Structure formats: structure tokens, C-alpha cells
Structure 1
């Protein structure tokens, strides 16, 4: 594909994890990339990587909680490449802590980033896509757009909100020529957990099994050609949805047990806002080092034990 006809792709949250891998995949296909995150230095690292893979890359440092900055990002993309074909809303932050223990500014900032950052992105790019009469808006949500869990209330709140926003916007875009696609990953092996705010007093790790960021990036790459509005990534954990919908008390008990016994461990973690307010100075890896076979086996055994134990406990209480 000639450079003139290669897609113009804007990626927010491009300096690590899913965003960085998405940029890589598009670069390998000769894409013209507009890379956004809060740190210019981190973005320059990713941009050089993309150029070496065969793509073009423009760096636009952007805090997605700043609506004016997001509009400037869209304008920079159009100014440089003449159009926007795909906008990938991927920027996100994470916070652990019981709701009553989380500082209100941390809660608000997670929602501002994960939800309002996507809203700002849609406001910024849709006028350009409507003018063109085509284009794809890809929003990265989460399995937590459908289910909750203890100790992650700001993240789940933002992702539930994103699902509602996406469904409303989908209806409004009917017949416009603009595609809206929602990607819903479960646990993905990225550094977001190392970067997370933590007010639990314990160390944190993601709920295994963690899927590769490449799987999410491939789903994002396929999104403009897909006829499906929403695509889940990480099928193992999506199996909890029927339990959540049919037996909420069972789901809550299992989710609480897993948070207390698997996701949280140790007792020596200091309270920290992580990178919720301040970006890392350098680019972070695509992966966070969370995929290990031993943890997958442990996860399966623990879930099975917890689910099987619940009916027995109920019977004993009768």
C-alpha cells in the first residue's frame, strides 16, 4: 500500500501496553500514525520504533482529560496527513482501594481519564469523520464494562459508563458511514497494574489468566472491517458473566474471595497514586510480565474451589 493510501490512525495511550502494540501492528502495515500520551519522551521512543517497522509517526503529547488538547490532537492529525481513518481511544488508568479509602481526587481522575477522555476523543474526531463521510472510532472498554468487583470502583464506574456512552453513540451514528467499535478486554498482560494507584495496604497483581496485548491489538486492527459492534478479548474470564447476571450473590462472593486471596497479597504496600496524575518519564513495555503458566493453573484451581465451596456453605447454613 502506498503511503498516500495507507490509513491514518490516531492512538491515545500509545506509550505502553495495548496502545504501543497497536501502533506497532499498524506500523508494520505501513500506517501513518499519530501517537498520543502525556509524555513526549515516551512517545518519541514509540515513534522511532514505528518508523523502523515501516510506518510514519507523528508525536502529539496529549492529556485526554483536557478537551482542548484532544481537539488539538485531531487537528494535528488532519493538518499532517489530511484525514483521520481510525481513532483508537485507549488511554486509561487504574486504581485499587475500597471506595471509602480512595481519595476523591483519585476516583475522579480515573473517571476523567477512562470515560471523559473517550468522550473528548469522540467530540474531537467525529466532525472530521462526518466531513469525510467515513472512518472508524474504536473505544477500548473492558470486561468491567459488564461486571464489577471489590476495590476497583473508579475503574468499573468508568468502564460501565463507557459502555452506555458507546451504545448511545452507536444509535446516533446509524447511516452516517462512520463505524463505532468497542473492544472489551479481560485481564491483559500490560504495565497498567504496576502503574495503578493503590490504597489497599497490600501489593496488587491482575486476576489471571492474563492474555497477550497482541490479542487486543489484533482485535483493534480488525475492528474497522468487522461487522460486530463489540468484541471480547480473553474468553476465559467472560465466563463469569452468566453467574453475574443470574446469581449476583454467588458472583459477589467469588469476586470478593478472588480479590482478597489472589489479586491482593502481602501487607507492606504504601499508599500511592501511581501514575494516575503523573505520566512515567519513559515509554513502558508492551507487557507487564504477568503471564506465567503456574499462575494460570493456580487461578483455575482457586476459582473451581471457590465456586464449588459456595453451595456447600449455603447448605450448612440451612
Structure 2
């Protein structure tokens, strides 16, 4: 599919991956429809998008947990631009905490945003795309949708659910012979976004980006490539691809190693943090940001490579033991 001049709806466009994706499509000369809860942040993204030649941007403040609001988002996109070629579900929230200590209302909120928000987006997008008989839906999951981790139970559940939703939709579209409708899933590794600062937290320790950390622009480029050449699933980041592969070879080993890695590098041992609900129920103030200030891949390359090497060696050893008669 041709990317230039496409009409692209993006949820979670006020920060992180959603914001980077909006800018990536704007650079390709697309019309972008920007959705998130924060109107001020979306206006900042709109101005940045419209600096690119031929790009147009429409701001539609939207809480993706409200199905009627998401339907209105789709209606506004079609009203302004006549169609929806691409819909990117990228809105996400997170909560860190021991399983028994996370308030149930916070647990439900993560699932409501990260799962039902995608359901609402998919229903609205596919309704339009079926009428057009073409279009691409991109759902942003995570490698924790394959390899689970401790202390982010609701987030991990949601990312597994997104992969299941995408697979079911692909099957249904195939049975309906909708050959020109595509559903793609993106599984990023750790990305340098404000997600960790904005997360609710009940661990007593400050969440930090677990190395190695990749840029949100890397994910955005992968999403643009998916529109050009759709694929079922794409993992973004070499460490992510390594973990996914290793989890198929030795799932128990990867599960144990991930637990240790999260405890040592995802939650700071030096910086205590009071309990807080982050942006779960109330949007963060300000104009938003694409990056979280985690330094990108280069600052964490050595630690990340060491972790990847340990995992790879362990998985390879396990594979050799399995093959040995």
C-alpha cells in the first residue's frame, strides 16, 4: 500500500510511540488524526506535524475507554478527510506493584485502556475500512505479550490480549475474504518513552526503563513499513527478537531470567518512590513528550548486551541438551 497521502488515525498520539508515529507519517505527507486525552499536548503534536510539507493534522481529544468517543473519532476523521486508510492503536497505561497490593480499580483501568481501548478502536476502524474494502489496522503490543514479567501483571495481560485480538481479527477477515484489510501487531522491546514516569506505582521503588532501550522513532519506522508491506507481527529491537526466540526454545529458563532482570534493572534499588496512581485516571499535565529521557540505546548498550549474551548462551545450552539423545 502507498503510504504518502494516506489518512492515519493514531490513538495515544500525545506522547511516546503514538507521538513518534504521528510525526513519521506526517513526514511522509500523510493526513494524521491525533487522539489522546490531553488536548494541549495534541495541539503541540499537530503543530509539529504540519511543519512538514503536504501534511495535515486534526486533533480529536479522546478517551479510548469511551466507545462512543472512539466512534466519534472515526466519524470526525471521515468527515474531514473522506476515509481512514490506517488506524494505529497505541494508547497505553501501566501500573507497577506486587499482585496483592495493586488496587483493583487501578488493575481494571489498565485493562480498560489497553484492551477495551483497542477493542473500541478496532471496531471503529474496521467499520470504516469494511465499507472502503481496504485499510490497515496496527495494534501496538509489546514483547511482554510473549515473555511476561513480574510487578506489571495488568500490563502484561493486556499485551497478551492485544496479540490474541489481532490474531482473531485476521482469521475473521480471512474467512470473510477481506483480502484488502490487514491487521498487524507490533511488539516493541523497552522504548525510551514517558510511560515509566507516568505509570502508577506501588512497589516502593522508582520504575526505570529496563536496558537495552530503543528509540520510539524505531517503532514508528516499523509501523510505517507495515503499512507499505503488511505482516502479522513485527518485533522491534534486537533484544526483543532474541527474547521471543529464546522463549520458544526454553520458556522456563527465560521466565526465571526475566524475573531476575526485572528486579535488578527495572525497579531502582537506590531511589525509593511513594505510592501513586500516575496518569491512570487523570492525564499528565503539560505538552507531552516523545522521549522519556532514558538515554536511548547507547547509554544502556553494555548492560543490555551483557544480559542478552547471558540469555542467549543459556538458551543455546538448553537447546543443545534437548537435541542430545
Partner residue, 1:17:
16
When residues 170 and 45 of structure 1 are mapped into structure 2, their CA distance, relative to the original with a 3 A threshold, is: same
SS in 2 for 1:239: helix
SS in 1 for 2:50: helix
The offset of 1:308, in angstroms, is 7.4
Give the counterpart of 1:300 among 287, 298, 305. Answer: 305
Partner residue, 2:233:
230
Q: Does structure 1 residue 284 correspond to structure 2 residue 283?
A: no
Give the ranges of 4+ consecutive aligned residues of structure 1 lying more than 6 Å apart after TM superposition. Answer: 306-311
Q: Give, in whole Å, the separation in 1 of the partners of 2:243 and 2:103.
A: 30
Partner residue, 2:321:
none
The offset of 1:149, in angstroms, is 0.6
RMSD of the TM alignment (CA)? Answer: 2.0
Partner residue, 1:190:
193
SS in 1 for 2:281: coil
SS in 1 for 2:272: coil
Give the counterpart of 2:277 among 263, 273, 276. Answer: 273
Q: Give, in whole Å, the separation in 1 of the partners of 2:154 and 2:277.
A: 13
Q: Give, in whole Å, the separation in 2 of the partners of 1:77 and 1:43.
A: 15
Q: Does structure 1 residue 79 correspond to structure 2 residue 67?
A: no
Return 101-110 or 263-272, whichever deviates more. 263-272
CA contact (8 A) 1:254 1:307 kept: no
Q: What's the TM-score once normalised by structure 2's chain length?
A: 0.89
- Number of residue pairs matched? 307
Q: What's the TM-score once normalised by structure 1's chain length?
A: 0.91
Q: Give, in whole Å, the separation in 1 of the partners of 2:187 and 2:234.
A: 6
The offset of 1:302, in angstroms, is 4.8
* Long gaps (5+) in structure 1: 312-318
When residues 294 and 131 of structure 1 are mapped into structure 2, their CA distance, relative to the original with a 3 A threshold, is: closer
Q: Give, in whole Å, the separation in 2 of the partners of 1:151 and 1:62.
A: 28
Q: Give, in whole Å, the separation in 2 of the partners of 1:164 and 1:64.
A: 19
The offset of 1:295, in angstroms, is 2.4
Partner residue, 1:315:
none
Q: Give, in whole Å, the separation in 1 of the partners of 2:10 and 2:311.
A: 39
When residues 143 and 305 of structure 1 are mapped into structure 2, their CA distance, relative to the original with a 3 A threshold, is: closer
When residues 201 and 168 of structure 1 are mapped into structure 2, their CA distance, relative to the original with a 3 A threshold, is: same
* Long gaps (5+) in structure 2: 318-325
CA contact (8 A) 2:239 2:308 kept: no
